[in-house]
Amino acid sequence: MLSRLISSTRGIPERSDVPQHIAIVMDGNGRWARKRLMPRVAGHKRGLETVRQVVRLCVEQGVRHLTLFAFSSENWRRPEDEVSFLMQLFMQALREEVKKLHKNRIRLRVIGDLSRFDGELAETIRAAESLTRDNDALTLTIAANYGGRWDIVNAVNAMLAAHPGRRDGFGEEDLAPHLCLADLPEPDLYIRTGGEQRVSNFLLWQLAYTEFYFTDCLWPDFDSDAFARAIDSYRKRERRFGRTSEQLVAAPLKQD
Ligand code: IPE
Ligand code: IPE
Ligand code: MG
């Protein structure tokens, strides 16, 4: 397991036809609802069904890790009633789905600054994580109140605390273990639905060599065909990690 956790900047991660780790910015719920003259929150509700379907597809197709951006550290800027609807939906989904996830051997984790969530939600998250912690069919990570900058600053603080008094400078390998998702391979594929072509403060460090796939498809419309198109696009990419195409042809698996 550990041999697969090669940092993309310090070695060459293994390549496989099926991405081992997919990270998704599930965007476009509000627009999906507005197009149908429904309130924005109806889009979030419908988006949850897409989550169920994408989780199923990942398990079926042998994707090992799926990381979903559910709520960014900047999403608190939204109208209060939308934020509170999203929190309730998250809580309800955790409560309703956790048994099913467990039955399907899915390990659920939540990354982000949980200190801003109310106590009941934080407790529900901890209970779901502890119930599913030994499952191995898929790691499903939900990023909630997550920000890539928060993640990096948090990791820097943890690194400094782990090395009190050290003055000789730090390297990537000192920081990396303190970042969220440090125990998973870096994402192979980043998908963003909803037509915007940006990262919106998602996994800033972890996406260093990830393949990006943007689609206009709104998240509630992201079905198995749309998922298949994303995987297909990924398969056609040449992942060079800084090398030339010629080097890849000569020694595709050479590590450094
Ligand atoms: C993504 O959909 C879900 C969250 C950010 C919680 P949006 O709510 O951003 O939908 P659009 O982008 O406004 O259509
Ligand atoms: C990104 O979507 C965050 C999530 C999907 C949770 P946003 O809708 O918040 O992103 P911006 O504001 O368009 O960049
Ligand atoms: Mg959006």
In the residue annotation, 168 being an active-site residue is answered as: no
Query: Based on the number of CB atoms within 10 Å of its own CB, is 137 exposed (0-12), middle (13-18) or buried (19 or more)?
Result: middle
| CB distance 201 to ligand 2 below 6 Å | no
Tell me the per-residue pLDDT of 26-44, one tens digit each, with 9 for 90 and over: 999 999 999 999 999 999 9
94 pLDDT band, cuts 50/70/90, is very high
Question: What does pTM read for this prediction?
Answer: 0.96
From the alpha carbon of 30, which atom of ligand 2 is closest?
8
Tell me the per-residue pLDDT of 165-196, one tens digit each, with 9 for 90 and over: 998 899 999 999 999 999 999 999 999 999 99
In the residue annotation, 27 being an active-site residue is answered as: yes
Domain with 127 in it: 16-236
How many angstroms separate the CA atoms of 7 and 46, rounded?
36
Given CA atoms 110, 113, 117, 122 in this order, what sign does their dihedral have? positive
Is the residue at 251 inside a domain? no
Per-residue model confidence (pLDDT) at position 210 = 98
Is the residue at 10 inside a domain? no
Checking if the pLDDT of 49 tops 70, the result is yes
Is the residue at 119 inside a domain? yes
Is the residue at 11 inside a domain? no
Ligand 3 center–CA 8 separation, angstroms: 29
Ligand 2 center–CA 249 separation, angstroms: 39
The owner of tokens 């890539």 is: 148
What's the mean per-residue pLDDT of the chain? 95
Is the residue at 9 inside a domain? no
Q: Name the β-bridge partners of 211.
A: 189
Is the residue at 5 inside a domain? no
Ligand 2 center–CA 238 separation, angstroms: 28
The owner of tokens 């951006």 is: 69
Tell me the per-residue pLDDT of 194-241, one tens digit each, with 9 for 90 and over: 999 999 999 999 999 999 999 999 999 999 999 999 999 999 999 999
Ligand 1 center–CA 27 separation, angstroms: 5
The CATH number of whichever domain residue 136 belongs to comes to 3.40.1180.10
Ligand 1: which of 24, 26, 27, 54 to mutate, most ligand atoms within 8 Å of CB? Answer: 27
Q: Which of 75, 135, 154, 201 is catalytic?
A: 75
Domain count for the chain, please give it.
Answer: 1
From the alpha carbon of 72, which atom of ligand 1 is closest?
5
Cβ-count burial 175-193 (b if 16+ within 10 Å, e if not): bbebbbbeebbbbbbbbbb
Q: Which of 27, 145, 151, 188 is catalytic?
A: 27
